[in-house]
Amino acid sequence: MAREKRTIRYDDDVWALLEAYSNTTSRSITAIVNDAIRYYLSEDQPSLEVRLRTLESRLAATESRLAMVENKLDLTD
């Protein structure tokens, strides 16, 4: 059920991101904001601890790949 429209003030950088994403996906800004709020408030969302562990493991993998590339570059010099 849709509610009466209300005015929301966005920071300029947030509005620019919303417009860019809307143009890329052809979705309305309202739909994007609604989905983002639903996700943010959802109990199915991973905990902050889980998200931080995931980010740490992704960072470690990226650092490892960068070290491999750096080693390859050192061998060719």
- Render pLDDT for 31-77 as a digit per residue (tens, 0 to 9): 999 999 888 888 777 787 888 898 999 999 999 989 888 787 776 55
| Main-chain phi, psi angles of 43, to 5 degrees | -75, -15
Per-residue tokens: 38? 């639903």
Predicted TM-score (pTM) of the model is 0.52
24 sits in which H/E element: helix 12-25
pLDDT band for position 25 (50/70/90)?
very high
Interacting residues of 28 by C-beta distance below 8 A, sequence separation 6+: 22
